[in-house]
Amino acid sequence: MTAVRTTPPPRLPVRDKADARERAWGGVSPMLTRLAAERATGVLLRERGTLHLTEGRVVHAESPAAPGLGALLTAHGTLDADTWRQAADEAAQAPGAGLLLVGRGRLSRGALELCHLEALYDAAYFALAPSSTPGRFRYTSPGRIGAVRAVPVAALEHETLRRRDLLHRIWPDPATDESPLLRADTVAVPGLTARQRAVVHLVDGVRTAPDIARTMGRPAFHTLVDVRRLAAAGVLVRGALRPAAPARTETDPDITLLKRLRDALESL
């Protein structure tokens, strides 16, 4: 009989009890809570995304880490890409484009509300992530952005905390959330779901979890759940961080050549 050796999963990071208490009982954004209390209308700009408010309720959210409403609507055949693109060109924001298509009979109200809420909660999870940069709020006039369905701030914060705790329970190391992903050097891979196999198939040492979510046309948070479970099973590990572009100095050959050309033109 041949023995199959498997690589043991990575060591589980030690839980920080004080940090767990803070996640469970602390608020998400004091500024957002205050804006809800004063029924403000405008845009809250944070380091990793923006929230649009109408009378103290969130009507739209955006984040570079999360696929938008259009991506979710067009990924699996609910709407064709050209139809969405045309509506997006006419409307100022994604919710407005969706409402435009509902009015024209190209999209059902139910499908729009479902995808809108999925995209809103997905982007808000990243936009409300802890940040070292203070948020800024810009007041705007009412009706500037079309409202598909407004979400109370308390409900949004509750869902954001629930998602944080869920990921922490699965695998409390967030290193794989936004770093390039690699397949671990395992001899035998445990049984995977179809969705997990699709995620692993797209892992190439360059793509991050949000990149994979956009490629699959799925909410980024759902992909984070799969990635953390795969990390806990020892299937995926964090790859090398993308190096920053090196700063160009005065000794750079291209810069030296440009200076010589400038000097030559000035001497004419």
Q: Give the end-to-end CA distance of the chain in Å, rounded to a whole number.
A: 85
Q: What is the DSSP string of 138-155?
A: EE--TTSS--S--EEHHH
Q: Which amino acid does the sequence have at 77?
A: G
> pLDDT tens track of the chain, all 268 residues?
444 344 555 554 444 444 444 443 346 899 999 999 999 999 999 999 999 999 999 999 999 999 999 999 998 888 999 999 999 999 878 899 999 999 999 999 999 999 999 999 999 999 999 988 889 999 998 766 778 999 999 999 999 999 999 999 999 999 999 999 999 987 667 789 999 999 999 999 999 999 999 999 999 999 999 999 999 999 999 987 655 444 444 445 554 544 554 555 445 5
State CA 13 to chain mean position distance. 24
Q: Which of 117, 111, 179 is nearest to 147 (CA)?
A: 117
pTM: 0.79
- Contact in structure between 45 and 138 (CB atoms under 8 Å): yes
